[in-house]
Structure 1
């Protein structure tokens, strides 16, 4: 099947954490709209499979292996490799995240805290710090951060993950102010529960809330991806610093 749209034709995107879950759907959606997509993650086999799916659907992309929990050197290597693979990055989607099952604060270990913040907060901060100035130098670009409704409203047992995503939302607003005047738009999508295998592990935890949602269901990865594509496209040309919830009405309950 050929790409259904070409809103992003000629643009080059990097999607972190795109070898599984939501990241795969985002990568495929960007490619379907015409972007060359750099798929990134730790698993070469899964990454190559995502790229193969993109190409079989008429899009194009490449895989770059990266472990975003390995610190700043790994982040810099990813930025350089992504640019080498694509010729430049016009769209950055900071999607990679480590989930921590709901855990009482007293039971979270220091190592868990460091691991989760390393991938969820340090990595997108460092990667944006490398790529946003390069976007400015090439004349512009867009950054879409993947936040969460957990960053909009605190919940018992989710202090660590909620703080991670609240940081992402704060980054979004700060970067919009910092880079927007130089041609780089920055926005975020804040999903509620999504129908992925990883999220299924949280089914019992979120079931009571789902029953109160206006939609009465989780979002699909494709629904969240559509919001990412919109914010990355010229249809959102004057949207800066927005945290767009795709949550089935979670924020309204």
Structure 2
């Protein structure tokens, strides 16, 4: 019988922002393939309810947990308690994010820094907390969620007067996430730790999708002619979390329907 390369059985996976717009689809994909999934964010009640749904649906083990990724003490507490409960964390998915918006010429230093803090600095917090544990167990897999805007600039003509213009600090922070991931791969690969990024393309929220004109503009820009559905991220996250990608590290998988191929 052929071994299922994509099986996540016996893997404990911590995902931040795991009950959100994109996080919920990734959490479900991980649970579907047999992982023990710890869904962590500041919305513990929501996480616990979603974890219970996944546990019942896929007959696996999922838990909701609290974490404030902006607070290193909170991050350390969450990771330590998870390892105490399950003995290990095989995979960390840094999906949690918060940001701020505005035009560069109108943006205060505080607003700029908030966007940087919510992207790269939160990833640093989680990696900083988990690296000693992964080094001790001599194995680990870190998956950071970046963005296509970490590699290309938003096209101003797409956004027009929609009000959804993507701020400069978002792309700058996500570009930093991609580089930081490459650094991790190169400096900790000899300790059995892999690190890769997934860069989603146009995955607008349900609220944004109510703007038909904007969604039409996004779809026209894309070679596949449509926006992304959160379920489109299930395959890439399962691939990177599983042994199917065991010889991959330092890579950025862009899931954008071809947006960045133009």
Query: Is 2:202 the counterpart of 1:193?
Result: yes
TM-score where L is the length of structure 2:
0.87
Q: Secondary structure at the match of 2:34?
A: coil
Q: How does 1:53-68 map to 2 (within 5 A)?
A: 53-57=53-57, 58-68=59-69
Report the CA distance shift for 1:122/1:232 in structure 2 as closer, same or farther (over 3 A): same
TM-score where L is the length of structure 1:
0.90
User: Is contact 1:43–1:65 with CA below 8 Å preserved after alignment?
Assistant: yes
Q: Secondary structure at the match of 1:177?
A: helix
Q: How does 1:8-19 map to 2 (within 5 A)?
A: 8-19=8-19
Compare CA radii of gyration and give the structure with the larger one. 2
Q: How does 1:1-253 map to 2 (within 5 A)?
A: 7-57=7-57, 58-69=59-70, 71-101=71-101, 103-155=102-154, 158-197=167-206, 200=209, 207-253=216-262
What's the CA shift string for 1:191-216, capped at 9, x where partnerless? 10115336548876564342021111
Paired residues, number: 248
Q: Secondary structure at the match of 2:133?
A: helix
Q: Secondary structure at the match of 1:122?
A: helix
TM-superposed deviation, 1:76: 1.4
Report the CA distance shift for 1:6/1:168 in structure 2 as closer, same or farther (over 3 A): closer
Q: Secondary structure at the match of 2:179?
A: helix
Report the CA distance shift for 1:214/1:64 in structure 2 as closer, same or farther (over 3 A): same
- Mapped to 1, the partners of 2:67 and 2:22 lie a distance apart of 17
What's the CA shift string for 1:161-215, capped at 9, x where partnerless? 0001001100111000011111111111111011533654887656434202111
- Mapped to 2, the partners of 1:60 and 1:5 lie a distance apart of 20
- Mapped to 1, the partners of 2:211 and 2:82 lie a distance apart of 33
Task: Compute the RMSD of aligned alpha carbons.
Answer: 2.2
- Mapped to 2, the partners of 1:95 and 1:201 lie a distance apart of 24
- Mapped to 1, the partners of 2:31 and 2:129 lie a distance apart of 23
TM-superposed deviation, 1:100: 3.7
Q: Secondary structure at the match of 2:221?
A: coil
Q: Secondary structure at the match of 1:161?
A: helix
